[in-house]
């Protein structure tokens, strides 16, 4: 796992398994904030007091950290479930500069707890934030559990095509509650068509720096 500095000064890793960066090289925090927090979390929290969120790929925990930083002050209960088959070690996680880059020292112990907590059980990291990390392949996603919001953050289609097409897109759609949304950095045409054929309403939104478009899909 090698550490890189992205254009906004925040770190990311290059996966030794996939040879892919965990985030946009144009800015890891900038991308996460734009795609997952602004297009996903903020609109979802506006209408919910209790949010069930699924992340496809916990990785560095950056999306989870930003979700807590934005969500907890709203005093709404966030139940954050995240799949990850190749966990980042605590040692690697402590190399990441997210806390200093965000000037969020008060979240340092939360970020450490996020990585330290046990897999495959609920961890109450805060009165308003429960994390359930699942150490398993994405394909084992149960469609009987239903979510208000899904952060689709697998590696890009060139590296992991199966997670951007049927049947996995059908599995994601089935895991959404009515009114629930999926957000992702990916705007590939075949992915958007797969979401549409799973019955979702699909919209293209302006992407983060370096990307013209991102995708948000909603179950009506």
Ligand X SMILES: C[S@@+](CC[C@H](N)C(=O)[O-])C[C@H]1O[C@@H](n2cnc3c(N)ncnc32)[C@H](O)[C@@H]1O
What track of x and - describes contact with ligand X for positions 156 through 175 (by CB under 6 A)?
A: ----x---------------
With a CB cutoff of 8 Å and minimum separation 6, the contacts of 58 are 64, 82, 83, 84, 87, 88, 133
Contact between 83 and ligand X per CB under 6 A: yes
Interface segment toward ligand X; rule CB under 6 A; list 38-46, 53-61, 174-182, 195-203: 53-61
Compute the least distance from the CB of residue 41 to ligand X, in Å. 13
Q: How do beta strands 77-83 and 122-126 pair?
A: unpaired
Compute the least distance from the CB of residue 129 to ligand X, in Å. 16
Supply φ then ψ for residue 155, to 5 degrees.
Answer: -65, 160
Contact between 63 and ligand X per CB under 6 A: yes
State the DSSP H helix or E strand holding residue 82, giving kind and residue range, or none if neither. strand 77-83
HSE toward the beta carbon, residue 119, CA cutoff 13 A? 11
Contact between 85 and ligand X per CB under 6 A: yes
Interface segment toward ligand X; rule CB under 6 A; list 109-117, 154-162, 193-201, 204-212: 154-162
With a CB cutoff of 8 Å and minimum separation 6, the contacts of 6 are 12, 23, 24, 25, 26, 27, 28, 30
Contact between 70 and ligand X per CB under 6 A: no
Contact between 24 and ligand X per CB under 6 A: no
Contact between 138 and ligand X per CB under 6 A: yes
Residue closest to 4 by CA, chosen among 31, 30, 23: 23
Contact between 50 and ligand X per CB under 6 A: no
Residues engaged in binding ligand X (CB under 6 A): 22, 57, 59-60, 62-63, 83-86, 137-138, 153-155, 160
């Amino acid at each position: 796992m090698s550490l890189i500095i992205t254009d906004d000064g925040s770190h990311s890793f290059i996966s030794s398994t996939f040879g892919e960066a965990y985030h946009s090289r144009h800015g890891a925090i900038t991308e996460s904030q734009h795609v997952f927090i602004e297009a996903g979390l903020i609109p979802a929290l506006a209408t919910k007091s209790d949010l069930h969120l699924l992340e496809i790929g916990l990785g560095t925990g950056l999306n989870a950290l930003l979700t807590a930083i934005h969500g907890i002050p709203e005093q709404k209960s966030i139940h954050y479930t995240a799949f990850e088959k190749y966990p980042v070690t605590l040692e690697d996680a402590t190399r990441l500069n997210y806390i200093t880059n965000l000037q969020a020292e008060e979240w340092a112990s939360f970020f450490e707890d996020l990585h330290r907590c046990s897999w495959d059980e609920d961890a109450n990291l805060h009165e308003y934030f429960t994390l359930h990390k699942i150490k398993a392949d994405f394909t084992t996603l149960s469609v009987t559990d239903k979510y208000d919001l899904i952060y689709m953050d697998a590696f890009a289609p060139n590296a992991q095509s199966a997670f951007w097409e049927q049947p996995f897109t059908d599995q994601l759609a089935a895991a959404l509650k009515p009114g629930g949304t999926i957000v992702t950095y990916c705007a590939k045409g075949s992915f958007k068509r797969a979401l549409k054929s799973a019955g979702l309403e699909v919209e293209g939104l302006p992407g983060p720096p370096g990307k013209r478009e991102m995708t948000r899909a909603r179950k009506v």
